[in-house]
Structure 1
Amino acid sequence: MDLFVAITEHPVWGWLSDEERPWMLMDPESESGLMHRIADLAREAGSSNREDLDIDDSKGPVFVHDEAYIGPYVRIEGPAYVEAGAEIRHGAYLRPGSYVCSGCVVGHSSEIKNTLMMPGSKAPHFNYVGDSILGSNSNLGAGAKISNVRLDRGNVPVRFSDGSTIDTGMRKVGAMIGDSSELGCNVVTNPGAVIPPSSAVPPNSTVTGYWSPAS
C-alpha cells in the first residue's frame, strides 16, 4: 500500500512485514499482531516503576520510558508501550495494544486502543483511535474519530486505490493513515478506511474506503 515509508530504520518497521495487508497487525489473536508484539517487548524492557502512573497490567505488561511525559490522571492498560519523547497529556486513556512512538502526542480525553502510533503522529484533542495505524507525522484534528466496528458487526472490508476490496476477516479494523496526513476537526473515518500519505481531509468529512480528494 506504500502508506508508511518514513520509519524504515525504526524497530517497528519489521512489524509491517505484510505491507499489502497492514491491517493484520491489528489482529488480536495473531502472534505477530500488536497485542503479542507489545507484550513481548514490554516484558523484555521490564515493568515501569514510575509511581506517578495509573497502570493496570492485569491483561499484559506496561512499559513507559522514563523520558516520556505523562500528565496527571492518565490511565494505561497493558499490554502497552510508550517510548522516550512521547507526550501523554492530562486525562488520556491508553487501552490494551497501544504502542506510542517517540514524538507522538496523545492529548486530553483522547483514547487509544490496539493502535500503532508511528513517530511524530498526534491524537491531541478529544480523539478516539481504535485498531489502527497512524503514519509518521500524521495529525488528527480536534474531535476526529477513527471508528473500528461496523454497525452490523460484520467483517470489515478494505478498499484499495483501484476500487477493489478485500474482506479482512476481522470484526475490528479502524483506519490506516499514511505518513504526514492531516485530518481536520471532527472527521470520522469508517472501519477499514485507508488514507494515503500527505492527504488533507477537510473538517467534518466522513471517510469510507480509500480516500482521495475526489471521494
Structure 2
Amino acid sequence: MQTIVLAAGQGTRMRPLTEQYPKPMLPVVGKPIAAHTVEAAVEAGASRIVLVVGYMEEVVRDYFGEEYAGVQIEYAVQTEQRGTADAVRAADSKLDDAPFAVLNGDALYDGSSLTALFDEKPSVGSFRVDNPSQYGVLHTTDDETTATGVVEKPADPPSNLINAGAYVFPGEARSWLDVGESERGEIELTDVLSRTCDEYEVSVVPFDRWLDIGRPWELLEANEWKLDAIANDREGTVSENAELNDLVFVHEDAEVRPGTVIDGPVYIDAGATVGPNAFVRGSTYIGPDAKVGNAVEVKNSVLMDGATVGHLSYVGDSVLGRDVNLGAGTKVANLRHDDEPVETPVKGELTSTGRRKFGVVMGDRAKTGINTSLNAGVKLPMEGTTKPGETVLFDPES
C-alpha cells in the first residue's frame, strides 16, 4: 500500500513547543510522533511512504532519511499550508494509479485497526468521542459500516462517530484533489472523501485507539499511551542504591544515581542523568541529555532534549521544551483548588485541558530563576525567563 503521511503543518495550537520545531517531530517515548505513525503504517502493510513536508522540513528529512523501518521514504513539499487535500496534491506525482492511504503525521493509531483500514479499501477510520463538534463527523448507513459523507465541526453533530484522519482512497481519487476552498478557507481532504462516498462504497473502520495530538496536554496523553508498552530494560548505569519499580527503561548511555526512586512507567533516554536522591514517577519521559537533579521530584511529565530540572524542584504533569533550565527550588502547581479541569491559553483563548491535573508548558530554552513558582496552566514562551522568587499566575503571552 502506497501511503502518504502528512507532516507539513506548523502546529500553532502546540505553541510554544513548535516555535522552532515541527509538531510531528515532537517526542513520544524516544521517537517523534510521525515515527510512530510511519512504523504503524509499515506494520499494517505500507510498501513505501511519501512524507509531505513543509514547516522546518529539514528536521523531518534528517530523521527519516531515504529509508526508515525497512521501507523507502520519499518526500513531497507543500510550500503553503492550504489544507489537507492540498498536501496530498503535493504528493500526487509520487503516486501510481493504485489505491493509496493517507495518514496524519501528528496522530497515533493502534496497529490492528490500521491493518483493518488497509485491508478494507476504500475506507475511512472512525472513532467515538465526547465532543464531536470539534471534529469532522461521519454520516453513515444505519449499521455504521459504510460512510455516506462527512461534515466538518457541526454545531449539531449527527452522531459522536468522527473521522479519525486515516483513509484509503481509490487511485481515481487523485483526479479529485483539485477541489476549491471550503468555508474555512482551506482545500480539504474531507471534500475528496465526500466525492469518494458518492462514487464508491466506503467502509467505516472503527479504531480501538486513536489520538489526535494537537495541543500540549495531548502530548502528555500520547506519552502516557506509549509508556504502557515500554521494555523493562535497565541497560544504563544504575546505582545499587537506587530503587526502580514497575516498567522502567534506562538507555545504555543514561545514568540513575544513588538514592533515586523511580516508579514506572518511566523512560530515560540516551545521555540523561537522574539523581542523586530524585523521585521520578509515571508516566514520565526523560529525553536525551536531560538532567533531573538532587532531591527533585518529577511526576507524569515530558522533558525534551537537554531539559534540566535543578535541585530541590518539583515538576508535575508538565511539558518542558528543549534545553529548558529550571533554577533550584522551582515549584510547579498542577491542581486547581476547586478541582475543576485546568485551563491554559491556546492561540490566545483560555481553553480547558479536560485534565484535573495539568502543570506548565515551557518553550525551548526557557529558564526560571531560583525559587520560582509557576501556577497550573501557565505557559512560558521560547527563551522566556523568570526572576528569582517570582510567582507566575498567568501566561505572559495571553
Q: Same fold (TM over 0.5)?
A: yes
Map of 1:176 onto structure 2: 361
Which of 291, 295, 300 is 1:105 aligned to? Answer: 291
Return structure 1 stretches of 4+ with deviation > 6 angstroms.
none
**Which letter maps to 2:220?**
M
Describe how 1:162-173 pairs up with structure 2 within 5 A: 162=348, 164-173=349-358
Rounded Cα–Cα distance in structure 2 between residues aligned with 1:6 and 1:118: 12
Describe how 1:8-157 pairs up with structure 2 within 5 A: 8=25, 12-14=31-33, 17=106, 20-27=214-221, 33-40=222-229, 42-43=230-231, 46-48=232-234, 52=240, 53-57=242-246, 61-157=247-343
What SS does the aligned partner of 2:253 have? coil
Rounded Cα–Cα distance in structure 1 between residues aligned with 2:328 and 2:370: 5
How high is the sequence identity, in percent, across the aligned residues? 32
Shift of 1:81: 0.4
Q: Whose Rg is larger? A: 2
Describe how 1:167-206 pairs up with structure 2 within 5 A: 167-206=352-391
Rounded Cα–Cα distance in structure 1 between residues aligned with 2:233 and 2:305: 22
Structure 1 residues 13 and 193 mapped into 2: Cα distance closer, same or farther (>3 Å)? farther
Rounded Cα–Cα distance in structure 1 between residues aligned with 2:31 and 2:389: 32
Shift of 1:210: 1.4
1:35-84 per-position Cα deviation (integer Å, ceiling 9, x unaligned): 221222x23xx432657341110xxx110112212210111111000012
Shift of 1:128: 0.5
**Which letter maps to 1:174?**
G
**Which letter maps to 2:319?**
I
Rounded Cα–Cα distance in structure 2 between residues aligned with 1:121 and 1:6: 15
More helix by share: 2
2:15 is aligned with 1:2? yes
Q: Which runs of 5+ in 2 are unaligned?
A: 1-13, 35-104, 107-211
Rounded Cα–Cα distance in structure 2 between residues aligned with 1:129 and 1:9: 19
Rounded Cα–Cα distance in structure 1 between residues aligned with 2:310 and 2:248: 21
Shift of 1:119: 0.4
Q: Which has the higher contact order (CA 8 A, sep 6+)?
A: 1
- Say whether the 8 Å CA contact 1:161–1:210 is kept in structure 2: no
- Say whether the 8 Å CA contact 1:26–1:173 is kept in structure 2: no
Q: How many residues align?
A: 201
What SS does the aligned partner of 2:227 have? helix
Rounded Cα–Cα distance in structure 1 between residues aligned with 2:326 and 2:396: 15
